[in-house]
Amino acid sequence: MTRHSRLVAWLAVLVWCGVIFWFSSIPHLSTGLGVWDLILRKGAHLTEYAILMILLLRTRIPAKLAFVLGVLYASSDEWHQTYVAGREGRPRDVVIDSIGLLTGLWASKAFSRARGRSSPS
């Protein structure tokens, strides 16, 4: 991986972290759909962090380090939400985010196998 490619990969990670931060900054985030609201929001957590894992793996860092960085970011994101009106930082959301990270790792490995390449470590 060239230096330029690696820089672009890390830039994508930073931009995606900014997107997550922006969503976390929205006060009183609710669709008013009752139980569907809960399902949609938790599904968003899974999806956001699956994408983050895929982007982290594109930087060519080891999968374990990518997971640790993802969990640290999820923790900081929940802490950030404690300062946003109508939002709460919840440890359970860090767990959901971690499942999203593992989902991204699984998807990346499955895609690599399907393409006949070695999977991320």
Whole-angstrom Cα distance, residue 95 to residue 75? 9
Q: Give CA–CA dist 14/16, Å, rounded.
A: 5
Predicted pLDDT at 118: 58
Please report, in tens digits, the pLDDT of each residue of the chain (121 residues total): 799 999 999 999 999 999 999 999 988 776 677 788 788 888 988 999 999 999 999 999 999 999 999 999 999 999 999 999 988 899 999 999 999 999 999 999 998 888 876 556 5
- pLDDT for 41 equals 82
For 1-28, give one letter per residue: b (16+ CB within 10 A) or e.
eeeeeeeebeebbeebbeebeeebeeee
